[in-house]
Amino acid sequence: MGKGAIAQLDGMIRGEIRYSVSMSEYTSFRVGGPVDYMAFPADREDLQKIIQWCNREGVLYFVLGNGTNLLVRDGGIRGVAISLARGFLRCEVVERGPQESLVLAEAGRSLRKLVEFSWKEGLSGLEFAAGIPGTVGGALFMNAGAFQGEMKDVVDSLQLMAADGSVQEKGKGTIHFSYRTLDLPPAGVILAGRLRLKVGNGPAIKVKVEEIMRQRMAKQPLDLPSAGSVFKNPNRGPAGRLIEEAGLKGSRVGDAQVSEKHANFIVNRGNAKAGDILALIEKVREKVFQEKGVALEMEVQVVGED
């Protein structure tokens, strides 16, 4: 696919298309090779045109959240990365009740801003998400969770765009969440979520949010690039504890390091490559399996070419 072909699409949409964009600019690990094209749809109509064009032309595409749970290999990504961070930012209370209210949050909205919005509106239920990086769409896609809460606990319905560009709303009974996973239709794109939150006291909710943030800052290496928790917690207990007990805290491959503060974080000490991070991930998995008999499962999504 050359620039001439993508120029057709560029002329069809109101948003922007960028060429040969380094994914290190768009991932929290700060690593990764280039994606052929990065598209920023301005609205749903733009997104429909991009998806339909990609399907018609046989071009691969994927939707990029905030790059906070993503590792892009050093060879980069062929096709189109679609970012919803410019045109899908709506966040509002769409239904108020004496005990519960419904909030509509579009996929490009940052989770941090959604949590802030909720406590300012005196709505409780999203406190667990305080400090989780990324977008609403990414949090829904990964069923993000912490502190005994998950996105599935507050979702009332999802708005999805199918591979043909059609839009549908799926109610809670037809949405299938599991641990750090949402079962989406093939090539489906999350547009927004309706979240059912409890009416509460705004200042009290804010205090709880701030306490969770303090706990995160005390336990997690937020001063270095990372992608959050690398592995899902197995039945045997927290992955970080198993990694620490296997003696892997501080282990390095190049500038990729198992955090000395939280062993389920791998941090970029400055000049790590994706290949370094992947090699360290395999080292951790092998050692934990040898020492503990547990096969750690990845939570971070890995995409792209070597």
The model's pLDDT over 28-49, given as tens digits with 9 standing for 90+, comes to 999 999 999 999 999 999 999 9
Task: Please report which confidence band the pLDDT of residue 179 belongs to, taking 50, 70 and 90 as the band edges.
Answer: confident
What percent of the chain lies above the pLDDT cut of 90? 81
pLDDT at 4: 65
Counting runs of H as helices and runs of E as strands, what totals does the chain give?
Answer: 7, 20
State mean pLDDT over 70-74: 96
pLDDT at 151: 96
The model's pLDDT over 186-221, given as tens digits with 9 standing for 90+, comes to 788 999 999 999 999 999 999 999 999 999 889 999
229 is catalytic: yes
Decide if pLDDT at 22 tops 60. yes
Q: Locate the domains of the chain by residue range.
A: 3-83, 91-217, 221-303
Task: Please report which confidence band the pLDDT of residue 147 belongs to, taking 50, 70 and 90 as the band edges.
Answer: confident
Task: Please report which confidence band the pLDDT of residue 183 belongs to, taking 50, 70 and 90 as the band edges.
Answer: confident
pLDDT at 43: 95
State mean pLDDT over 284-300: 96
Mean pLDDT of the chain: 94
Q: Which residues pair with 80 in a beta bridge?
A: 37, 61
What percent of the chain lies above the pLDDT cut of 70? 99
Task: Please report which confidence band the pLDDT of residue 3 belongs to, taking 50, 70 and 90 as the band edges.
Answer: low
The model's pLDDT over 223-237, given as tens digits with 9 standing for 90+, comes to 999 999 999 999 989
Q: Residue with structure tokens 């992947």? A: 278
- CATH code, residues 3-83: 3.30.43.10
244 is catalytic: no
Q: Which of 180, 194, 196, 285 is catalytic?
A: 180
- The helix/strand/coil state of 292 is helix
Task: Please report which confidence band the pLDDT of residue 2 belongs to, taking 50, 70 and 90 as the band edges.
Answer: low
pLDDT at 296: 97
pLDDT at 1: 54
State mean pLDDT over 296-301: 94
180 is catalytic: yes
pLDDT at 304: 93
Angle CA(137)–CA(240)–CA(247) in degrees, nearest 5?
145
Decide if pLDDT at 63 tops 60. yes
- What is the architecture, at CATH level 2, of domain 91-217? 2-Layer Sandwich (3.30)
Decide if pLDDT at 101 tops 90. yes
| Closest CA relative to residue 138, chosen from 228, 210, 60, 74 | 228
Q: Which of 229, 251, 259, 285 is catalytic?
A: 229
* CA–CA dist 221, 265 (Å, integer): 8
pLDDT at 173: 86
- CATH code, residues 221-303: 3.90.78.10
CA 43 vs CA 18, 63, 87, 93: distances in Å? 17, 14, 5, 20
